[in-house]
Copies of this chain bind each other. A is one copy, B any other.
Amino acid sequence: MEAFERNIRKVEPYVPGEQPRQRVVKLNTNENPYPPAPGVERALKELDTADFRLYPDPACSVLVDAIADFYKVGRDQVFVGVGSDDVLSLCFLTFFNSDKPILFPDITYSFYKVWAQLYRIPYECKRVDEQFRIVREDYYGENGGVIFPNPNAPTALYEDLELVEDILRHNRDVIVIVDEAYIDYAGPSAVELVDRYDNLIVTQTFSKSRSMAGMRIGYAIANPKLIRYLNDVKYSFNSYTLNRASLVCGAEAVKDRAYFEETVEKIKATRERAMERLGSLGFSCTRSSANFLFATHPDCDARELFEALKREGIYVRWWDSERIRQYMRITVGTDEEMEKLFAFLEQYLSKGE
């Protein structure tokens, strides 16, 4: 090792889900199977590329305004970033500066641990119960902050706002982040609690229900004071984050409520049919409130099945992690894509493997 390498920050790199280039059945990164709202195409084509020479609006007003209108919150209650990963990582940097550990579930989005390590934030993982449910009492003790996804990933389980509010009530002295990447496929959002709990931050993304993973847009909704702290750090960091294309395409995507609701309903309907079908094939799934299924089969090894699916060009997600090693995460695609999956599973299971 060279001398100059001594002070380099070494991290265990996160391995993102594969992005295969050839045409495959891609059910591995929870993307939306439907295109974004039609207005996005129009907005993109109307962009004047001559304006690309100019910096984008650092306040991201056109997008912030559209999100504020959609959720009926103030413009000063919305923060936007380059995907919810950018927003969440900035939240870690801004809000988690205590000597006490932050708390999050042991089975959850794998980036939480990575950001904590990256920023040297102490953390403690709280074990979800045998049904993968968050145990509220685990979050009652002293801590440096709380974060959990709702619905949780990869378990797909949604917790009622009653539980979210209970955790908030027990944590009035720290920041509580509810990561709602999949909320549109579930129940009520904690956004309705931000005016009552000034220590609550709700994050969401355009990558799932808004069908814009390729444009990198995420946001946080909270009280104006917390949004101001986030903006202060953002402006000290990289003032111009969202580019001109993301700003106008994002605004168009969020304005089209009818299209949004229609595609969300289509995915939920496919999800329900898929859960039933997987059940009839002998799989157990958690009660999914997301755009993916978390499934295990008593007679097949999940890793072997994952590999067999991949050889067939059907990509799902599998983790070599304690407690969930026998589960696969399957994104809800179109009905046609799901049929391809089921056809293969039927054949695979009939071989008695």
Contacts and interface: CB of A to CB of B under 8 A. Distances in A.
Most interface-central of A12, A54, A175, A199 (chain B CB within 10 A): A54
A230 to B, nearest CB: 10
Given A8-B229, A16-B235, 18 more contacts: A3-B172, A4-B174, A6-B98, A13-B231, A26-B54, A29-B55, A35-B49, A44-B49, A44-B245, A52-B212, A52-B214, A53-B213, A56-B214, A56-B216, A89-B237, A115-B236, A118-B233, A215-B245
Interface stretch (A67-75, A78-86, A183-191, A276-284): A78-86
Contacts of A231: 13
Contacts of A33: 53
16 contacts: A9-B93, A9-B94, A9-B233, A13-B232, A13-B236, A16-B240, A26-B54, A44-B47, A44-B49, A53-B212, A53-B213, A56-B214, A82-B241, A85-B237, A215-B243, A245-B246
A55 B57 CA distance: 24
A316 B179 CA distance: 41
A11 to B, nearest CB: 4
B240 A243 contact: no
A96 interface: yes
A84 B238 CA distance: 9
Given A94-B9, A96-B7, A243-B246, A34 B19 contact: no
Range of interface residues on A (Cβ < 8 Å): 35 or more
Interface in A8-47: 8-16, 19, 26, 29, 31-36, 40-41, 44-45, 47
A101 to B, nearest CB: 12
A239 B16 contact: yes
Which secondary structure characterizes the binding site on chain A? Answer: loop
A209 to B, nearest CB: 11
A19 B55 contact: yes
A52 B29 contact: no
A37 to B, nearest CB: 9
A244 B212 CA distance: 10
A178 interface: no
A235 B86 CA distance: 12
A172 B36 CA distance: 50
A292 to B, nearest CB: 15
Given A15-B235, A118-B233, A244-B215, A53 B34 contact: yes
A119 to B, nearest CB: 9
